[in-house]
Amino acid sequence: MRFAVDTGGTFTDLIVEDDENGLHMYKASTTPSDPIKGVLDSLALAAEDFGLGLDAFLAKGDMFIHGTTHAINAIVTGNTAKTAFLTTEGHRDILVFREGGRMEPFNFTVPYPQPYLPRALSYEIPGRILSDASEMNPLDEGRVVEILEELKAKEVEAIAVCLLWSIINSAHEDRVGELIEQHLPGVPYTLSNVLNPSLREYRRASSAAIDASLKPLMSAYMHNLTGRLSDAGFAGRVLIATSQGGMMDASDVAEHPIHLINSGPSMAPVSGRYFAREDEGSDTAVIADTGGTTYDVSLVRRGRIPWTRETWIGQPYRGHMTGFPSVDVKSIGAGGGSIAWVDDGGMLHVGPQSAGAVPGPSCYGQGGDKPTVTDASLVLGYLDPEFFLGGSMALDLDGARGAIERDVAGPMGIGLEDAAAAIISIATENMVQAIVDITVNQGIDPRDAILIGGGGAAGLNSTAIGRRLGSERVVIPEVGAALSAAGAMMSDLHSQYTRTFFATSENFDAAGVNQILDGLEARCNAFIDGPGKGSISQTIEFFAEARYPDQVWEIEVPLAARRFESDADVEALIEEFHKVHEDLFAINDPGSGIEVVGWTASVKCQLKESESGSLAPAEEDTSIDGTRKVYFAETGYVDATVRRFEAMKTGETLPGPAIIESPFTTVVVNPGATAERRASGSVSIVPGVAPAAK
CATH code of the domain containing 43: 3.30.420.40
CA distance 581 to 675: 37
- Quote the Cα angle for 59-228-28, to 5°: 85
Average pLDDT over residues 485-489: 89
Statement to judge: residues 583 and 527 lie in one domain? yes
Statement to judge: residues 93 and 16 lie in one domain? no
Residue (of 267, 180, 215, 182) closest to 82 by Cα position: 215
Q: What is the DSSP string of 504-526?
A: ESTT--HHHHHHHHHHHHHHHHH
Statement to judge: residues 497 and 600 lie in one domain? yes
Contacts 24+ apart (CB under 8 A), 70-74: 70/7, 70/35, 70/217, 70/218, 70/221, 70/260, 71/214, 71/217, 71/218, 71/257, 71/258, 71/260, 71/261, 71/263, 72/260, 72/261, 72/262, 72/263, 72/313, 73/32, 74/214, 74/217, 74/218
Statement to judge: residues 86 and 49 lie in one domain? no
Q: Can you tell me whether residue 25 is helix, strand or coil?
A: strand
In a domain, 522, yes or no: yes
Statement to judge: residues 65 and 86 lie in one domain? no
In a domain, 693, yes or no: no
Percent of the chain exceeding pLDDT 70 equals 98
Q: At residue 599, what is the residue type?
A: W
Residue 586 domain boundaries:
493-606
Statement to judge: residues 567 and 540 lie in one domain? yes
Residue (of 293, 297, 294) closest to 308 by Cα position: 297
pLDDT-based confidence at residue 692 (cuts at 50, 70, 90): low
CATH code of the domain containing 511: 3.30.1490
Tens of pLDDT, residue by residue over 537-563, are 999 999 999 999 988 889 999 999 999
Domain boundary among 187, 217, 248: 187
Statement to judge: residues 577 and 597 lie in one domain? yes
Tens of pLDDT, residue by residue over 44-77, are 999 999 999 999 999 999 999 998 888 887 887 7
Tally of residues, the chain: 694
Other CB atoms within 10 Å distance of the CB of residue 625 = 9
In a domain, 656, yes or no: yes
Statement to judge: residues 42 and 115 lie in one domain? no
Tens of pLDDT, residue by residue over 610-659, are 777 677 776 555 555 689 999 999 899 999 999 998 889 999 999 989 99
How many domains does the chain divide into? 4
Q: Encode 414-441 in three state secondary structure.
A: CCHHHHHHHHHHHHHHHHHHHHHHHHHH
Statement to judge: residues 601 and 653 lie in one domain? no
Q: What are phi and psi of 36, to 5 degrees?
A: -70, -25
Q: Is the Cβ–Cβ distance between 644 and 662 less than 8 Å? A: yes
Average pLDDT over residues 487-500: 91
pLDDT-based confidence at residue 294 (cuts at 50, 70, 90): confident
Domain boundary among 135, 168, 187: 187
CA distance 288 to 450: 11
pLDDT, the chain, mean: 90
pTM: 0.85
In a domain, 635, yes or no: yes
In a domain, 439, yes or no: no
Q: How many CA atoms lie within 13 A of 667 on its CB side?
A: 34
Q: Lowest mean pLDDT: which of 136-140, 569-573, 689-693?
A: 689-693
In a domain, 566, yes or no: yes
Domain boundary among 124, 155, 187: 187
Statement to judge: residues 637 and 602 lie in one domain? no
Residue 287: pLDDT over 80: yes
Tens of pLDDT, residue by residue over 424-456, are 999 999 999 989 988 887 778 888 899 999 888
Q: What pairs with residue 354 in β-bridges?
A: 338
Statement to judge: residues 97 and 142 lie in one domain? yes
Q: Is the Cβ–Cβ distance between 372 and 397 less than 8 Å? A: no
Q: What are phi and psi of 618, to 5 degrees?
A: -75, 140
